[in-house]
Structure formats: structure tokens, C-alpha cells
Structure 1
């Protein structure tokens, strides 16, 4: 049995109010360096260490295991806050909480006690899920094999967001009878190589590089069933997606706030407004007002989706899980569009002035364009329509 300890112990968060307060404090701290980190691709090692030391990484641990079992709506709010401060930092913990949801649903009692205790102590879970070599996103070649000396893991992963910073790297791998398992691999196990080769033009500091596994010794106790989470109704899919929706909403929020500041500072006064030193012409005011309304709608959709996921976690009937997936798909599709709109409007109203680049405000559009391609919005609306019109439940997978 492998036991992983954090480099620095975490504080304990005792309730949702404290969790949101800590998130606000961290957002204020992370915002000041976000533009610089993106410009120079300075990886946020210290910031993420502070995140997990704060106790935020354990907020979804169920109460019976020592956590507070934070609601999905509140978790989404935390993702909005942190993603507004720094889109890359906001995205990194998504896979951490995703792995914890798989553990909650499919882990044994012994695995839950041990791994939840590690998370409460402050460890950070990364991910190694996606692969280049497969012909489809859901296919894997990374595998666990049984050898005389024990279990061994071999394979190659890419887009491993957070693996560079993590203490364990939950990894999808095929095992007996081709069943997918989630292996909670210790980051510094022999044979594990994490490569910093992420070169995206947005979300530049997520550490979304590659991971190689070469004859990595695996403890059976670190292997949690994965495939069965989609062979029955569970909240793994909508739970994963609501965090992505919140990342986009946070990026949109910060782009909008920077837009307001930019227009106030740079725009010429509109003399016929009746307001002294008013900023913006009628078209500018119209576009800003429309975007403000769409941002508020995004907040509301996230709350509705969070409540639906919470209900499905309490009672994972096929109907409840389908409704949760649909409500989350609405939020995800909406915040995808709004995040891109906010970044576009910042360019549209700011023009080609050098100050946009000077303050690295273009990062909001780059971050939104990159993150929204994680699972395209074109998958969402047809699933919503098919459910509402024909009563067809969405497919059970991590992308809806």
C-alpha cells in the first residue's frame, strides 16, 4: 500500500461560508500576477501550493469522511472566482475534484478512508486521461498488466492538466477484460515522467503536458474502477462538466470587468448623454448592457445546474442523472458562448490599441478559446433538444 503525504499540511475548512471566503482571498491574491504569469509562462507552483494548503482541495470530501461535502453550486462559485482571477489556476483543480467524484462513486470503503485522508491533509491530484495514439477520445492503450512481481503500468498520456504540480496522478488504464480503471499513481513513483510540453496559445500555465509510464509499480489498493461509473447512472459526467462551465464563466467575468475598466479609462465622453463625463457611445452602452445580462444568466444557470447535480448525487436514478446532465449542458453551452463574446467585445471596443497587449488583456479571449474546445459546444445543444423534444436521455460520459 502506498501512502502519499503533502509537502505542506493543509488547513481544515469547516463550512461553506468559510470555503467561499477562502476562495475570495485566494482570488484576490492570484489576480495580481495573472497577466505576468501568462505572458512569461510562469507556472503557478507557489499559487497552487497555497490553494491546496488552504483546504479548498478537500471541500467535496463527504462529511462522513471528515469533509464538508460542499454543494455543487458552491463549488461552481469557487471555480468562477478562481478562474476570474487566473483562468489557468482556475482550471487546474478540475481534474482533482473529478477524481474525487469517481472515488466517491466507485471506491471501496478502505480506498475512500485512505485517499480522502490524504486529500484532507493537502495532497493535490492531477490527471493523465487523454491519449494521442487512440483513434477516438474514449479509447485507451495505457494498460495495467499482471506480472510475477506484481501490477505494472505502461503508456503515454497528453493534456495531463495539473500533473506537473500534483502529488498523485489519477490515470486511466485498461486492466482485466479491457475494463478501464482509474489508478491513483504517486507522482514520484519510479518510471513516472511528467514532461512540460504544453504549448497552447491560451491557458498557458495549466501544466497540461505529457506523462509517460514505464513499468510503473502499482499497488492494487490504488486502483479504483472507472468504466462502471458510466455503465450505470452516476453524476461523474455532469459533475465534471459543471466545473468546466464555471471556468468559462470566470474567464468571462474577468474579461467583462477589464472591459469596463478599459472603456472608462480610454473612451471619449459622450456629450449628449446628459451625464457629466459619461463613457461610451450608444452602441458601446448597448453591447455592455447586453453582455451584463448574459453574464447574470450564466450565474443563474450554474446555480440551477448545481442544484440538479446535488439532487442526482443524493438519488442517482436515471431520470435525475439525465436531468443533471441536461441542466449542466445548458450552463456549459451558455458560458462557452459568453466567455468568447466577452473576449471578443474587449477587442471590439478596445480596438487595436497597444494597451490591450501591454496589459495582456488578450489572454481572456485566448483562454476562453482554448478552454471551450475541451468538449465543443456543438455537442451540447442537440443533446438538450433531444431530451426535451423526444425524451432521449443524454449519453453517459464525462463530456456531458
Structure 2
């Protein structure tokens, strides 16, 4: 079985993917990144609904995306990358998510890891790992656990023996690990501080199980990682807890949330475009409208206008958040990081709600024929519903309200 063929889920230990081929391009600047992202989106969009219907992992599409050089665009210039702005990264992720949100989500933890290396890695660690990223290596996540009090109360610890650390444990919701070349494992030290232990995907004792069974974002294959005496060199252990120190924070939390918001924006954009197409090609005017075409129905016109207004507002906030993150990265302080978090939280609220409303309205405006299972249009709703559960928007409202009402800075962790 090749990686382009495996379908469905099960208790299958998936072998590592091949290393990237030689010659992955290094993208030079923001304009090039946006141009290439548009071309990648054009290539991977066809067949997205069918891949979901067949529960097929988008291996070819993922290779097109990472092989384009886009996965290295946030590497700092000092290490050979383009260091594109976060505004640009948000636009890149939105374009890819509009084409296939599962493929976009596979890159989320990769970009979050690059941000962690910028903020917390030593120059030697950064030089080592950024060189691999620019060659096309993909990071994949092994973070979350089950049976714990909350998402940050991890059980996985690492033991230090000489120049290596040893890890044991089970990780769930491991987006990107199946197709990664390097797996970033979150583990705690004896003081309870979080670290990223970056293991080779083929490391002995590291097994990725293809057991992702959610009804949405099927193509992420966000399954289970089993760790049995996995050895990681100490020079591949990154003290990411340092990004969340109240006295000297970095923008890592905002960056992680920002990418999630960009994915939701892409989902909303895809759903609105699908709605417009279906209104023109399948929907009928309502009997009481007095119109010949559904596209002339005044209530349909109003709803499409409302969807576009809400999405455009979310995109504007996403750009503002990207600018705030750029400033916080270049000028880190408690206030600049808090501003980036607040701007990102506001964008996250609107993009989440836009994605959910747009994927619901698609069926209302297109009519009953849009529910035909052969069309598989519900995959957009299922993807939006699944992805927007990553962290609750109700807490984004609370963070924003508490900031403006009581001048309270947001909490410093990866979900705020």
C-alpha cells in the first residue's frame, strides 16, 4: 500500500513518508508566496469533496503544498528564509483552506513549531532545524492527551540520560504526525515546564496509528502517536515554556490561534462561493417572490450580502491580527503580545461564526437538492464544525471583553 492509496481509519501503524525530494524551492518574498499559494490552491481544489467522500488521505495534494516551498516562508532571513509577514501567512493559509481545509490544517502545527523555534530555540538548534524546513521537511504534532483535567495538564514526561531524552506516552489528535518527517512531541520536565522534543518520524518506538474517526477534516488523519522509549537528542529539545513567561512573553499563542482563524476564513469563503454557484445553477425562486430566478429573490440577495459582509469583516480583522503579530514578534513585550492575542481573538470569533453560518446557509439558499449525497456538499459543514471545535469561541468573547472592560491581559498559553 502506498501513501497515496490508504483509505479510511483503523488500528494501522502507518510507515513514515519518504523524505522530501531534492530541489524544494526557497520562496523569496511575500509577493512570491501569495502567487505560489494561489497556484497551489488551483491545483489541489479539484477533487476535495471526492477525497472526503472516499475518506482518502490527500498525500499528493500535501506534497504539492509542501513541495512548493510554502512551508518554509516564515523561516527568518538570518537562516535563509523569506520571513514573510503574518498578514501574508494568513492569506496563504486562507487560500489553501478554501481549496481543501484538511490540507491547510496539516500545516498549522508546522508553522506553530517554526514560531516556537524563533522564540525559544538556541541559534544552533534553529540553524539545524530551519535548514531541514527549507529542504521541505514537515513537522507534525504529538501534543494532546486524553483522560486529563484540561488540555494543558499533560502526563507525558521526559527522562534525561546523557545526551538524549527518553519519552513514553500516548498522544491523540496528532494532526500532521502521520505525514511528517519530524514529530514535535510536547512533554514536561521535572518542574512541569513544557518542551518540544523533536523526533525523527522513523525513530524506534514512535508509532503513528491511523485511527482518526471524526466526521470532519477527515483528510488530516489526526490520529494517535504511541511513544515507547523514544530517544531524542537533547539538542532537539526546545524549551517552549519560555514563550509564555508573564515577564517576557512571545507571540506564540497568538500565532497558533491566528492560523486556526485563517483556516476557518478559507472554509467560509469556499462555502459562500459554493452557495453562489448553487443559487445560479440549482436553486429555484420561492413561490411568493414573484421572480423567475433564485438569484433575483430579495431574501436570497440579502442573505448572500450578509454572508459576504461578515466574511470581509473577519478578513479585515485577520489582517489586523497579522500586523499585530508582526509587531509583537519584532518588539516583544507583555503589551504587544496581549494586543496580538486580542486582535487574533476578535478575528477568530468572526471567522468561526462566518464559517458556521456560511456552511449552514449553503443548504438553506441552495434548496433541498443540495442535500443529495452524491454532491457531498455537507463536507464543508462537517469540516467547519469539526475545525471550529479546536478551542471555544465563547472564551474568545470573554478574553476580549475582560481586556477592554477590566484591562486584563489574556492568559498566556497556546489556546488564547
Q: How many Å separate the matches in 1 of 2:202 and 2:107?
A: 19
From 120, 128, 139, the counterpart of 1:106: 120
Structure 2 matches for 1:74-93, cutoff 5 A? Answer: 74-93=88-107
Deviates more, 1:260-269 or 1:384-393: 260-269
1:349 alignment counterpart: 365
1:178 alignment counterpart: 192
TM-score, normalising length from structure 2?
0.92
| TM-superposition CA deviations, 1:161-204 (whole Å, max 9, x none) | 01110000111011232322101111000000000101111111
> In structure 2, do the counterparts of structure 1 residues 15 and 23 end up closer, same or farther at CA, with 3 Å as the change threshold?
same
Shift of 1:147: 4.0
Preserved contact between residue 269 and residue 278 of structure 1 (Cα < 8 Å): yes
> In structure 2, do the counterparts of structure 1 residues 349 and 356 end up closer, same or farther at CA, with 3 Å as the change threshold?
farther
| TM-superposition CA deviations, 1:95-136 (whole Å, max 9, x none) | 000011111100001000010000001100001010013221
> In structure 2, do the counterparts of structure 1 residues 86 and 144 end up closer, same or farther at CA, with 3 Å as the change threshold?
same
| TM-superposition CA deviations, 1:202-261 (whole Å, max 9, x none) | 111101000011001110111000112112321000011110000000000000000000
Preserved contact between residue 283 and residue 294 of structure 2 (Cα < 8 Å): no
Preserved contact between residue 267 and residue 280 of structure 1 (Cα < 8 Å): no
Matched, 1:359 2:378: no
1:36 alignment counterpart: 50
Matched, 1:216 2:230: yes
> In structure 2, do the counterparts of structure 1 residues 356 and 341 end up closer, same or farther at CA, with 3 Å as the change threshold?
farther
1:239 alignment counterpart: 255
Q: Secondary structure at the match of 1:205?
A: helix
Q: How many Å separate the matches in 2 of 1:216 and 1:245?
A: 33
Matched, 1:124 2:138: yes
Q: Secondary structure at the match of 2:315?
A: helix
Structure 2 matches for 1:1-400, cutoff 5 A? Answer: 6-9=19-22, 10-147=24-161, 150-231=164-245, 232-268=248-284, 279-353=295-369, 356-400=372-416
Preserved contact between residue 131 and residue 137 of structure 1 (Cα < 8 Å): yes
Q: How many Å separate the matches in 1 of 2:167 and 2:288?
A: 70
> In structure 2, do the counterparts of structure 1 residues 141 and 345 end up closer, same or farther at CA, with 3 Å as the change threshold?
same
Q: Secondary structure at the match of 2:112?
A: helix
Q: Secondary structure at the match of 1:283?
A: helix
Preserved contact between residue 350 and residue 356 of structure 1 (Cα < 8 Å): no
Shift of 1:276: 8.2
Shift of 1:45: 1.2
Q: How many Å separate the matches in 2 of 1:284 and 1:187?
A: 50
Q: Secondary structure at the match of 2:21?
A: coil
Q: How many Å separate the matches in 1 of 2:237 and 2:30?
A: 31
Shift of 1:352: 2.9
**RMSD after superposition:** 1.9
Q: Secondary structure at the match of 2:185?
A: strand
> In structure 2, do the counterparts of structure 1 residues 109 and 274 end up closer, same or farther at CA, with 3 Å as the change threshold?
same
Shift of 1:365: 0.9
Shift of 1:91: 0.9
Shift of 1:355: 5.5
Structure 1: stretches of 5+ with no match in the other structure: none
Shift of 1:268: 3.0
Q: How many Å separate the matches in 2 of 1:315 and 1:306?
A: 14
Q: How many residue pairs were aligned?
A: 397
Preserved contact between residue 370 and residue 377 of structure 2 (Cα < 8 Å): no
Q: How many Å separate the matches in 2 of 1:332 and 1:242?
A: 7
> In structure 2, do the counterparts of structure 1 residues 149 and 109 end up closer, same or farther at CA, with 3 Å as the change threshold?
closer
Shift of 1:150: 4.3
Q: How many Å separate the matches in 1 of 2:19 and 2:298?
A: 54
> In structure 2, do the counterparts of structure 1 residues 287 and 175 end up closer, same or farther at CA, with 3 Å as the change threshold?
same
Q: How many Å separate the matches in 2 of 1:391 and 1:89?
A: 38
Structure 2: stretches of 5+ with no match in the other structure: 1-16
Shift of 1:270: 7.9
Shift of 1:144: 1.0
